[in-house]
Structure 1
Amino acid sequence: MSEYSWPGENGRYMPDAASAWAETVRVLPVGTRITGEVIGRQPFGVFLSIDGRPDAVVLARIDRMPRCMELPTVGQQVTGQVVWHADHNHQVGVVLGEWAEHENLLPRFRVGQAVSGRITKIAPIGVFVHLDHCVEGLIPLTGPTPTTEAFTEGQEISVQIITVDHKRNRIHLGEPIAPELCTAQVPHNLFRTRHDPQDTA
C-alpha cells in the first residue's frame, strides 16, 4: 500500500465544499481549535475530517511541519488550529498541535546569542545543527569556495545565531566559535561569517 492516498481512496468522500463555504468560514474562523481524523495523505500535507464539520475540506500543509517530524498517517486522530482560508479552492488550512508546539520553542533563541549543538546533516546548502528538541539551525555554505571539510556529522560545536525567522521557522547560524563564549552574549562582529543576514533566503 502506498504511503500516499487521496480521501476517496480510503473510502472517505471529498465534500462539496463550495456550497457550504460561507458557513464553513463562519464556524471555523482563524484561531479556531479543531480535532479530527487524517483521511488523506499527500507529499504536500494531509487532509482532515473535522469533528462536527463534514462539509469542510481541511488541509495541514507540510510547510508548517518541523523537519524532525513526519506526516501523520491515515486514520490518526489529530488536533490543531485554523490558520487560513483559501477562497479559490474552498479549503481550510490548519497547523497541527504538535507542529505548533515546535514553533513555540523559537522565541527562546535570539540574534547574537551563542549556543551549542550537534551537527546532524551536511548538505550542499549548508550544515544543520541540532539546538533543542526538534529545533535545528543552518550554517549556510555561501561564497566563491564554500567547504564542509571542517565539519563532521555528530560533531559538537558552538555557534552564534545570525537570524531567527519566526515566520518561516528558520534559524541561521554563523561559523563555529570558542565554547566558552556560549556563557554570554557575544558581539555580532566577533567573527567573519559566510552569511549576510540581509541575504536570507
Structure 2
Amino acid sequence: MTEYSWPDWGSDRDHGARIAAAWPDTLRKLPLGTPVTGKVIGRQRFGVFVAIDNHPDAVGLAEITAMPRCTELPHVGDRVTGHVLWHADHNHQVKIQLTEWAEHADLLLPYPDKIGQAVTGHVTKLAPIGAFVRIADCIEGLVRPERLSNVTVMERQELTVTTLGVDLERPRISLSATERR
C-alpha cells in the first residue's frame, strides 16, 4: 500500500450518484459545527477523506489548510473526531476540522502582535506559490513570489522575513522577504 490513496469504494460504482442524491439530507443532518467521528478512507497530500459515522452517504474531507504545522496526516483506517467546518456544494464534501488539529490551533495566537516585525527563518520548501519559511518551531509562513524582492532562495537557506499578516481561521502567516544590506 502506498502512502497516499483515494477512497476505495469497492464494487460500488454508484457511490458518486448516491452521495449527490443524499446531499440535501447531509446538509440538514450535518450543519456547521456538528461534532463528527469517522474512519479515514483515503489519504492525499492535500488532506484525508473520512467516512462519517452514521452518515453512509456523506464524505468528509479534512484538508491540510486546517492542519497545524507540527502534525501529521492520519493514515487510512485511523479513527478521527472533529467538527463540520464547511460544506463544499460543488463536490458534495463535508469539510472537517479534526479535533487533533484544533488542539494545536493556538500556536499562531502570538503572531498577530508581530505584524511588521522581521525575523530570521529557514526556507523549508519552494513551490510555484512561493517559498515556505519556518520562523519558529511548528510555525511556517509563505513568501509569495512577488514578495521575494528579487531575492534568489534555495531550500534550507536562512532568510530574513517580515510578517505581513496572520489568518487565525485558516491558519496562515503571510511573509515578505527582507532585503539584505
Return the TM-score normalized by structure 2: 0.71
Pairing 1:106–2:112 present? no
Partner of residue 128, structure 1: 133
Structure 1 SS opposite 2:73 = coil
Q: Does 1:6 align with 2:7?
A: yes
**Does the Cα contact within 8 Å between 1:45 and 1:59 map onto a contact in 2?**
yes
The farther-off stretch of 19-28 and 109-118 is 109-118
CA distance in 1, matches of 2:76, 2:156: 37
| Superimposed CA distance per residue, residues 74-113 of structure 1 (whole angstroms, 9 cap, x where no aligned partner) | 1001111111122333221112223333433222212437
Please list the CA deviations of residues 149-183 of structure 1 after superposition, one character each: whole Å capped at 9, or x if unmatched: 9x965x6x8865332133542223456xxxxxxxx
- Alpha-carbon contact 2:121-2:161 (below 8 Å) kept: no
Alpha-carbon distance in structure 2 between the residues aligned to 1:79 and 1:10: 27
Q: Is the 8 A contact 2:32 2:85 kept in 1?
A: yes
SS at match of 2:103: helix
Residue 29 of structure 1: aligned partner: 31
Are the aligned partners of 2:65 and 2:171 in contact in 1 as well (CA < 8 Å)? no
Q: Which residue of 1 aligns with 2:151?
A: 146
1:117–1:131 CA contact under 8 A, matched in 2:
no
Residue 24 of structure 1 aligns to a residue in which SS?
Answer: helix
Would you say the 8 A contact 2:123–2:131 is kept in 1? no
Contact 2:68 2:101 (C-alpha < 8 Å) held by counterparts: yes
Map of 1:137 onto structure 2: 141
| Code of the aligned partner of 1:2 | T
> 1:73: which partner in 2?
75
Conservation of the 8 A alpha-carbon contact between 1:122 and 1:148: no
- Distance in 1 separating the partners of 2:88 and 2:142: 32
Larger Rg: 1
Identity %: 44
Listed as ranges, the matches of 1:1-201 within 5 Å are: 1-3=1-3, 4-9=5-10, 14=15, 16-110=18-112, 111-112=114-115, 114=117, 118-119=121-122, 121=124, 123=126, 125-126=130-131, 128-132=133-137, 134-138=138-142, 142-143=148-149, 145-148=150-153, 153=157, 160-173=162-175, 193-194=178-179
- Measure, in 2, the Cα distance between the counterparts of 1:120 and 1:148: 8
Give the match's secondary structure for 1:34.
strand
Match of 1:183 in 2: none
**C-alpha RMSD of matched pairs (Å):** 3.5
Unaligned runs of 5+ in 1: 176-192, 195-201
Q: Number of residue pairs matched? A: 171
Task: Note closer, same or farther for the CA distance 1:59–1:115 as it changes in structure 2 (3 Å cut).
Answer: same
Question: What are the ranges of 5 or more consecutive residues in structure 2 without an aligned counterpart?
Answer: none
